[in-house]
Amino acid sequence: MVSRVQRVRAVIFFIVVQLFFLIMIARVIHIEMKAKTLKKRSEELITGELGTRVRRGKITDRSGRSLAVNIDTLSVWADPTLVKNPDATARKLAPVLKSDPEKIKEKLNRKERKFVWLAKKLDLSLMKPIIEMVRSGEIRGIWFEVQERRIYPKRNLLSHVIGFVNYRGGGISGVEKYYNDQIKYYETTLHIYRDARNRIFHYPDGEPNLPRYNSELVLTIDEMIQHIAEEELSKACKFWKASGGTIIVMNPKTGEILAMANYPSFDLNEYGTTAESVKLNRAIQMAFEPGSVFKIVPISGALEEGLLSPSSSIFCEKGVFYFRGHPIHDIAPYGWLTLRQVLAKSSNIGALKVARTLGKERFEKYIKLFGFGRKTGIDLPFEKRGDISALKIWSDEAILTYIPFGQGITATPLQILCAFNAIANGGVMMKPHIGMEIRDSRGNPIERFKPQVERRVISARTAGMMTRMLNLAIREGTGTKAKIEGVEVAGKTGTAQKAGKNGYSKERFVSSFVGFFPLDNPSYSIIVIIDEPKGKHHGGDVAAPVFSAVGRKILQYEKVRGVYAKAFAGEGNEIEGVVSGP
């Protein structure tokens, strides 16, 4: 039999073993819990978030010349309560900040404030001398920060088209606004792991591939043609003491805007101090009565409908036609004129008789087909649609009397040029556009904006007849001063009286010329508008010579560019391909 002592020993042994296992289990649980806590703490120590900012993309012309870019600038501020000697500090900072020491001293003496700006948007190179003065103890209470700034290196060039950004970096006008979503800056957060020295060693969501800059916007604009247009427009407006003006240069086959100049212009880097009236893009935001350039509408319509031919004769009433007792005059006492002469000599009476042959319904149809009364749809904000409400308000007789020579309706310069483009492009109207493509930060195309056909306005046959008739206006009519040596031109002059409270003014006019070249294969179309010239006011005297000068310089530039392209194969900037209409 097992003795009592042995049983006691067995029980004690069993209890000890059980206690041992309980202690071991408790130890394991403790270690696991501690491990989880340590793991959590370690993860908290090495994981984190990193905020990063992708800058606004730049804007360039079709050849990659920069028109709008972002740069880093230096801004300097002070805590006046920490500045021991405001006078000495101001004298040391003034030459660096290129500021008046008295003005700096005045700010540093504002001891009731702990923050005052001393200078903003300075060149980044000024950071070094300021750092040296702070480190040496020469100045105290001075700090600086690096800030991003949008700058426009070409200053006045294309200012109305490029537009501007607000203090938050968002576009508020021009292509800066229209293409804001494609080029805007944005901020994002990256998840990161850091080592004991606070260095990033892992990205749990994958290696980031963020660019420094957002996408780049490439415009159809040719900077050199823009320079030509702005220079000639400025010269003309100053010579004629005009209140303003516009020149647009396009490729009628593609709808590309090669230049869009406005006068007066302004420096985009001084946007905040520029008068709102100067910021107006006259090319798309100012509508005026088109005058005689509108005569292409009734004449094209009559040809298209087969009612008249270029040789049809029209009696022009010896220069005076009365409508309800009110005289309508021609510039000369014309008798019988052919249709081509009506256009070439710009007969108001001939134009209204053509419209009456066409009739109100068909006349209205061609007004709308040529794009009047509707926006062109160009990729720019705030475009005006013009006003053709007279078609609903006036009597049929009044419509067929005044509107044929461009009175009673309004249109923008771009609308008028697009109407002429339809003739230049074989009767097909292309949608105007100023954006050519979007590229990534490495210059690779992301999105190309291809030419778009709007509609067929007239047949190719009618367009051909109109082109030849518009050429006659240059050779023998009112547009002789628009001739360009070495190339045949088609075009039309326009002179419109400006309406006021007491009817049409005898002193305020809009002078215009619209044309295209070369005659057999047009690759350039140009509209010139001179608003309220002093002295002469007929489009043939005021606007036609400007058209000639712009066209001549474009052809010279094209010749030089062609030579360059041959010398450096593949580096030329040829006008892009032709798009045929239906």
Task: For residue 306, tell me if it sits in a domain.
Answer: yes
**Rounded Cα distance, 128 and 542, in Å:** 55
- In the chain the first and final C-alpha atoms are separated, in Å, by 119
Structural domain tally of the chain?
A: 2
**Rounded Cα distance, 217 and 226, in Å:** 17
Task: For residue 322, tell me if it sits in a domain.
Answer: yes
CB atoms within 10 A of CB 150: 22
Per-residue pLDDT at 483 exceeds 70: yes
Query: Do 233 and 160 belong to one domain?
Result: no
Q: What is the mean pLDDT of residues 420-424?
A: 99
Task: For residue 258, tell me if it sits in a domain.
Answer: yes
What digits encode the pLDDT tens for the residues 201-246? 444 555 555 566 789 999 999 999 999 999 999 999 999 999 999 9
Task: For residue 347, tell me if it sits in a domain.
Answer: yes
- Nearest to residue 490, comparing CAs of 498, 482, 501, 500? 482
Structure tokens at 74: 């230096």
On whether the CB atoms of residues 184 and 169 are closer than 8 A, the answer is yes
- Nearest to residue 441, comparing CAs of 219, 178, 217, 288? 217
Query: Do 184 and 314 belong to one domain?
Result: no
Task: For residue 90, tell me if it sits in a domain.
Answer: yes
Q: What share of the chain is helix, strand, coil (3-state, %, to 5)?
A: 40, 25, 35
On whether the CB atoms of residues 230 and 243 are closer than 8 A, the answer is no
**Rounded Cα distance, 40 and 45, in Å:** 9
Q: What is the mean pLDDT of residues 392-405?
A: 97
Query: Do 245 and 330 belong to one domain?
Result: yes
Query: Do 152 and 237 belong to one domain?
Result: no
**Rounded Cα distance, 55 and 59, in Å:** 13
Strands (DSSP E) contained in 183-319 are 186-194, 200-202, 216-219, 244-251, 256-263, 313-315
Taking each helix axis from N to C end, the angle separating 348-358 and 360-369, rounded to the nearest 10 degrees, works out to 110
Query: Do 245 and 167 belong to one domain?
Result: no
Give the residue numbers spanning the domain of 180.
59-219
CB atoms within 10 A of CB 190: 16
Per-residue pLDDT at 46 exceeds 70: no
**For residue 124, what pLDDT band results from cuts at 50, 70 and 90?**
confident
- What pLDDT is stored for residue 43 in this prediction? 52
Per-residue pLDDT at 190 exceeds 70: no
- What pLDDT is stored for residue 261 in this prediction? 98
Query: Do 210 and 237 belong to one domain?
Result: no
**For residue 48, what pLDDT band results from cuts at 50, 70 and 90?**
low
Query: Do 65 and 175 belong to one domain?
Result: yes
User: If DSSP codes are grouped into helix, strand and coil, which group holds residue 214?
Assistant: coil
Long-range contacts of 391-399 (CB under 8 A, 24+ apart): 391/364, 391/367, 396/360, 397/323, 398/323, 399/360, 399/363, 399/364
On whether the CB atoms of residues 492 and 473 are closer than 8 A, the answer is yes
**For residue 575, what pLDDT band results from cuts at 50, 70 and 90?**
very low
Q: What is the mean pLDDT of residues 64-90?
A: 90
Q: Pick from 204, 219, 234: which residue ends a domain?
A: 219
- What pLDDT is stored for residue 456 in this prediction? 98
Query: Do 105 and 229 belong to one domain?
Result: no
**Rounded Cα distance, 246 and 237, in Å:** 10
Residues in contact with 486: Cβ distance below 8 Å, sequence separation at least 6, in sequence order: 555
**Phi/psi at 247 (5° precision):** -135, 130
Per-residue pLDDT at 148 exceeds 90: no
Percentage of residues in the chain having pLDDT higher than 90: 66
Query: Do 90 and 168 belong to one domain?
Result: yes
- Distance, C-alpha 157 to centroid of its chain: 11
pTM of structure: 0.83
**Rounded Cα distance, 470 and 491, in Å:** 5
On whether the CB atoms of residues 491 and 479 are closer than 8 A, the answer is yes
- Distance, C-alpha 498 to centroid of its chain: 28
Q: What is the mean pLDDT of residues 250-262?
A: 98
Give the CA-trace dihedral at 467, 471, 474, 478, to 10 degrees.
-60
Query: Do 290 and 189 belong to one domain?
Result: no
Query: Do 359 and 307 belong to one domain?
Result: yes
Task: For residue 34, tell me if it sits in a domain.
Answer: no
- What pLDDT is stored for residue 35 in this prediction? 65
CB atoms within 10 A of CB 109: 14
**Rounded Cα distance, 355 and 455, in Å:** 23
- Nearest to residue 355, comparing CAs of 413, 307, 424? 307
Per-residue pLDDT at 120 exceeds 50: yes
On whether the CB atoms of residues 52 and 187 are closer than 8 A, the answer is yes
Task: For residue 30, tell me if it sits in a domain.
Answer: no
**For residue 26, what pLDDT band results from cuts at 50, 70 and 90?**
confident
- Nearest to residue 526, comparing CAs of 471, 580, 489? 489
On whether the CB atoms of residues 260 and 221 are closer than 8 A, the answer is yes
Q: How far is CA 424 from CA 182, 393, 418, 494, in A?
A: 33, 32, 10, 18
Of the CA atoms within 13 Å of residue 119, those in its CB half-sphere come to: 25
Residues in contact with 559: Cβ distance below 8 Å, sequence separation at least 6, in sequence order: none
What digits encode the pLDDT tens for the residues 521-545? 999 999 999 999 999 999 999 999 9
Task: For residue 445, tell me if it sits in a domain.
Answer: no
Query: Do 213 and 247 belong to one domain?
Result: no
- What pLDDT is stored for residue 126 in this prediction? 82
Q: What is the CATH number of the domain that holds 561?
A: 3.40.710.10
**Rounded Cα distance, 556 and 565, in Å:** 14
On whether the CB atoms of residues 434 and 308 are closer than 8 A, the answer is no
- Distance, C-alpha 116 to centroid of its chain: 37
Per-residue pLDDT at 52 exceeds 70: no
Q: What is the CATH number of the domain that holds 76?
A: 3.90.1310.10
